[in-house]
Structure 1
Amino acid sequence: MESKEVLLVNCVGEYIVISIQEFNALLTNPFAIHSDTFKLLKCKNFFTDYDLELAIEMLATKLRTRKAFLRNFTSLHMVVLTAHCNGRCDYCHASSSDVAKGPLSQNMRPDVADAVVDMIFMSPSQYIKIEFQGGEPLINWEVLVRIVHRAKKINKTANKKLEFVVCTNMTLLDYDKVKFLMKEGIQISTSLDGPKELHDLHRKMRDGSSSYDKFIENLSIVCRVMEAESVSPLLTITRDHLKRLPEVIDEYIRLGFKGIFLRSLNPYGFAREDLAALGYSMEEFIEAYKEGFDYILQKNRNGVHFVEYFATLILSRILTPFSTGFVDLQFPAGAGISGVIYDYDGCVYPSDEARMLARTGDKKFLLGNVIDNSYEEIFEGNKLKSIISMSCAEVMPGCTSCVYQAYCGSDPVRNYVESGDVMGFRPSSDFCKKNMGIIDFLFKYILENNEQVMDIFWSWITGRSLEDVRL
């Protein structure tokens, strides 16, 4: 977008680009412009010159659509089966502990697991996703099985749409476990940092073996037993990845994965302790992101359907009226509203990041415990209400007048880590810098309106092939 143009966005995400002359005229007297521009602004609910009630109702309908995620309180329930792990990743956000040292005291007990499942089904949402986390959750396999069976038994009368995901490094999988996952319809979320050298560089096994070799070995078992779409890998970008993202993308494509989430390093756990070696400035990340994104775009132009998932979330918010399920791009924050996490000891936190923060001794965001507190005390208590009330971008300094407000989100835990304040400070916020930088970058493509590129974007948003979109 040239400096002689102005991007206007309203509260429901409708946007228009006009000349600086038209913008100045609008500021002076918006209703004096009887032009196609004014008609378009009126059509997109920036202005109205008649029937105010109808215009407000149309705007309200669009806002309800964009805030639809609020209807399913709370749908994502993350369950930490253990804080132990057989790996010791340099950037481990969860600050996992060595499984080989002493008794498994940080495993979730069966009675705690039962209480967690019972609380999950108190949620009013008709959509329930239970996501098993760790440490390495397969270490506590018996409790994973127990939770699946108990949840399905309760759901025979609850009649909710029930899904399961296990977040695992895949090193402890075997044929019998994979068969169980397939039988119970459990999806796999895993980690892949690129080719062997890059993957093993920071994703280290405590016994010194190659995590990549074990990942590839067990991926072959999963692919033989389950559908390929059952596995979703996640990349963590360290300083060593910044100039090598094309290699990582090629590895994902070689292994048959259909997309990648170009994700910056989060300042939690071990990653926060070693940011000097692992980290980078947000400006460096954005430049690397742009290079990786353009490489993916070229792959698509060459006939390889491959998605960049973070861009897809942003594009969905810009190009469609619908909300997304990604908690980082919601306001009020998705913490507690869309997702919640139950630690191995039964403690409840509004987000995974809040649980990670608690690992370092800061339990500011602790909502309660499934053994000691009721559902009402945890989910209707003042702690969660305060977090939610301070995460509404419409009233947050720096967000209230931001042109990208409708496409962004709020992360109160990240704000607290960065600034010591739940509401945060936008001028120095890496969360803000990242989202603004990437939205700027994507708008460049949108406003160029290249037919081939827009077809690729719509294929990502709709989950269809490029051929289907073109038809």
Structure 2
Amino acid sequence: MSKFQSIDFYDRQLSSDHGSYRLLPFRFTELEQGEYVVTNMVGEYLILTREALQRFVNGGLKSSEPEYLELRSHHFLTDKQSVMGPDLLAIKTRTRYERLAQWTGLHIFVLTLRCEHSCPYCQVSRQSEDKALYDMTIDQADKAISLVFRSPNSAVKIEFQGGESFLNFPLMKHIVLTAKSENKKLTVPKELVFVAATNLAVITDEMLSFCAEHEIKISTSLDGPKELHNKNRPRPGRDSYERTIAGIEKARHLLGRDAVSALMTTTQASLPYAQAIVDEYVEQEFNGIFLRPLSPYGFALKTKYYRAYDSKAWLEFYDQGLNYIIQLNKDGVDFREYYACTILSKMLTSKDPGYVDLMSPAGIGLGALVYNYDGKIYASDEARMLAEMHDFKFQLGTVDDDFEILFTNETFLRALDESFSYSVPMCSDCAFETWCGADPVFHWGQQKDFIGRKPESEFCQRNMHIFKGLVRRMEADPFVKKLFTRWANSC
């Protein structure tokens, strides 16, 4: 058997002395020597021995065998007792792809490129204090708001980014008030949510009071303990950590604990401190952490931070962090790793959480739109960062364009067409295709190809390692299986 194999038909009737059944579409790959992960087209998986897998494919399974019953209940085969199997599989498939009809829900407004931090791993290089050059204008913002409400999605999230978003606080206020006013004019108002990405270093009581009044959630950066955070995120005064922690406490007091979240980025300096970083998040009373690698865009490449470590080093860091989080849960600490949660929801439920980097077809445009400070519109935040490298491949247009023109952009349509992983070479045979997704911006940035050369893709290397690791942990430990199931259902 080759590394990946797929069976993509169910009209093949298999008959033997043990009865007959039809195969439903599935794929498989070796997990351990002699054991295989078998997945169906909606991500449900089973573990089969090589011998059981061969008998299953060749029609040799007895209907009384446990493997047979599991394969039938999880829609890998259908027989006279499960004539509804294909219809149930189709319903689950429709559920998984229903988000495509909802269109774009996340709209990112880059209010300014100005920032008083000088983080060397940042994808967007810090700019000067010239507001005229690096701040979005009211006119551009109003045009962007009009485009936001053209989206057919019933739920819209407006996220403010920078630079440091609160350095253009007057425009943030204008957008919030205008968006709320426009929403009230709709026959059926949308579910409208606001999020402000901020380092919290310049936030004031006035800003937080406005956020509290209009239910604006806060997303900040916390890279770990004080020494590590301040090394990763330098600013005048060398007090980034102190300002972040003080800002988190003040924001929680005014907005509520659940209204404040944090993200970390793994630098080379972070690699030895997986447990310490998790401990910092536990100490600050967060419910979980997203263990993120560096992104290969913009300023992070110019400063050589992206190439400071390879994917193998980050995966070792990730495994250490995840294993430690599992142990914390065994010790009674309710804490989760959010990337694992996202993947597990695709593995263990019939719904797709809509995480842009793990969508098929790609989440660019469909999952998010970025209205840049200069009025240009990009298909994703990563596409905006790619433009910082003077590659405007994924610029859809500007705020002066019509909604229809933006979404009939040739690059956008081609990227969607080529990123449907069910039909992409190597992805189509991969047992993990339904858990994964497509990231044409990443692969274009790395290889100048929407699909990418999979054997050389860090995106594939990282995800395949994590997929196998999650399965191995669940199969080896009933506690982990129960824990991961809870994570999947709460994602």
Q: TM-score, normalised by structure 2?
A: 0.90
SS in structure 2 of the partner of residue 215 of structure 1: helix
What is the Cα-based RMSD across aligned positions, in Å?
1.8
Match of 1:156 in 2: 184
Q: Given that residues 240 and 278 in structure 1 are in contact (C-alpha distance below 8 angstroms), is that contact kept between their aligned partners in structure 2?
A: no
Residue 6 in structure 1 maps to residue 36 in structure 2: yes
Pick the aligned partner of 1:285 from 296, 303, 314. Answer: 314
Match of 1:190 in 2: 220
Match of 2:455 in 1: 427
Q: Compared with structure 1, are the counterparts of its residues 103 and 134 closer, same or farther at alpha carbon in structure 2 (3 Å cutoff)?
A: closer
> Unpaired segments of 5 or more residues in structure 1?
465-471
Aligned runs of 1:122-133 on 2, under 5 Å?
122-133=150-161
Shift of residue 40, structure 1, vs aligned partner: 2.5
Residue 238 in structure 1 maps to residue 267 in structure 2: yes
SS in structure 2 of the partner of residue 407 of structure 1: coil
Match of 1:319 in 2: 348
Distance in 1 separating the partners of 2:490 and 2:397: 39
Shift of residue 444, structure 1, vs aligned partner: 0.5
Aligned runs of 1:13-32 on 2, under 5 Å?
13-27=43-57, 29-30=58-59
Shift of residue 210, structure 1, vs aligned partner: 1.9
Aligned runs of 1:364-443 on 2, under 5 Å?
364-371=393-400, 373-443=401-471
Pick the aligned partner of 1:44 from 74, 82, 92. Answer: 74
Q: Given that residues 124 and 385 in structure 2 are in contact (C-alpha distance below 8 angstroms), is that contact kept between their aligned partners in structure 1?
A: yes
Pick the aligned partner of 2:103 from 73, 82, 87. Answer: 73
Distance in 2 separating the partners of 1:45 and 1:453: 24
Distance in 2 separating the partners of 1:79 and 1:382: 23
Match of 1:468 in 2: none
Distance in 1 separating the partners of 2:430 and 2:80: 28
Match of 1:219 in 2: 248
Distance in 1 separating the partners of 2:436 and 2:44: 14
Shift of residue 383, structure 1, vs aligned partner: 2.7
SS in structure 1 of the partner of residue 234 of structure 2: coil
SS in structure 2 of the partner of residue 189 of structure 1: strand
Distance in 2 separating the partners of 1:230 and 1:279: 34
Letter in 1 for 2:118: R
Q: Given that residues 121 and 306 in structure 2 are in contact (C-alpha distance below 8 angstroms), is that contact kept between their aligned partners in structure 1?
A: no
1:195-252 CA distance string (max 9 Å, x none)? 11100112111x3432112212222321321211111100000111111011111111
Match of 1:360 in 2: 389
1:399-453 CA distance string (max 9 Å, x none)? 11011111011100001112111111110101111110111111011222x3322
Of 188-197 and 278-287, deviating more is 278-287
Q: Compared with structure 1, are the counterparts of its residues 245 and 123 closer, same or farther at alpha carbon in structure 2 (3 Å cutoff)?
A: same
Distance in 2 separating the partners of 1:185 and 1:35: 56
Distance in 1 separating the partners of 2:207 and 2:151: 29
Match of 1:458 in 2: 485
Aligned runs of 1:49-64 on 2, under 5 Å?
49-50=79-80, 54-64=84-94
Shift of residue 276, structure 1, vs aligned partner: 5.6
Shift of residue 97, structure 1, vs aligned partner: 1.3
Shift of residue 139, structure 1, vs aligned partner: 1.0
Aligned runs of 1:227-266 on 2, under 5 Å?
227-266=256-295
Distance in 1 separating the partners of 2:298 and 2:156: 28
Match of 1:91 in 2: 121
Match of 1:300 in 2: 329
Of 39-48 and 385-394, deviating more is 39-48
Shift of residue 266, structure 1, vs aligned partner: 0.6
SS in structure 2 of the partner of residue 216 of structure 1: helix
Distance in 2 separating the partners of 1:153 and 1:400: 46
Letter in 2 for 1:351: S
1:17-66 CA distance string (max 9 Å, x none)? 11111222233x22664443233323322222459984432221111111
Distance in 1 separating the partners of 2:101 and 2:305: 42
Distance in 1 separating the partners of 2:203 and 2:391: 33
SS in structure 1 of the partner of residue 160 of structure 2: strand
Distance in 1 separating the partners of 2:286 and 2:61: 54
Q: Given that residues 336 and 351 in structure 1 are in contact (C-alpha distance below 8 angstroms), is that contact kept between their aligned partners in structure 2?
A: yes
Match of 1:267 in 2: 296
Q: Given that residues 246 and 292 in structure 1 are in contact (C-alpha distance below 8 angstroms), is that contact kept between their aligned partners in structure 2?
A: yes
Distance in 2 separating the partners of 1:48 and 1:275: 54
1:278-326 CA distance string (max 9 Å, x none)? 6311111111111111111111111111111011111111111111121
SS in structure 2 of the partner of residue 243 of structure 1: helix
Distance in 2 separating the partners of 1:200 and 1:398: 42
Distance in 2 separating the partners of 1:278 and 1:300: 33
> Unpaired segments of 5 or more residues in structure 2?
1-30
Shift of residue 143, structure 1, vs aligned partner: 0.7
Distance in 2 separating the partners of 1:379 and 1:30: 47
Distance in 2 separating the partners of 1:183 and 1:440: 45
Q: Given that residues 121 and 305 in structure 2 are in contact (C-alpha distance below 8 angstroms), is that contact kept between their aligned partners in structure 1?
A: no
Shift of residue 103, structure 1, vs aligned partner: 4.4
1:77-112 CA distance string (max 9 Å, x none)? 11111112111111111223133xx44411000000
Match of 2:208 in 1: 178
Of 249-258 and 208-217, deviating more is 208-217
Q: Given that residues 260 and 308 in structure 1 are in contact (C-alpha distance below 8 angstroms), is that contact kept between their aligned partners in structure 2?
A: yes
Q: Compared with structure 1, are the counterparts of its residues 276 and 181 closer, same or farther at alpha carbon in structure 2 (3 Å cutoff)?
A: closer
Match of 1:469 in 2: none
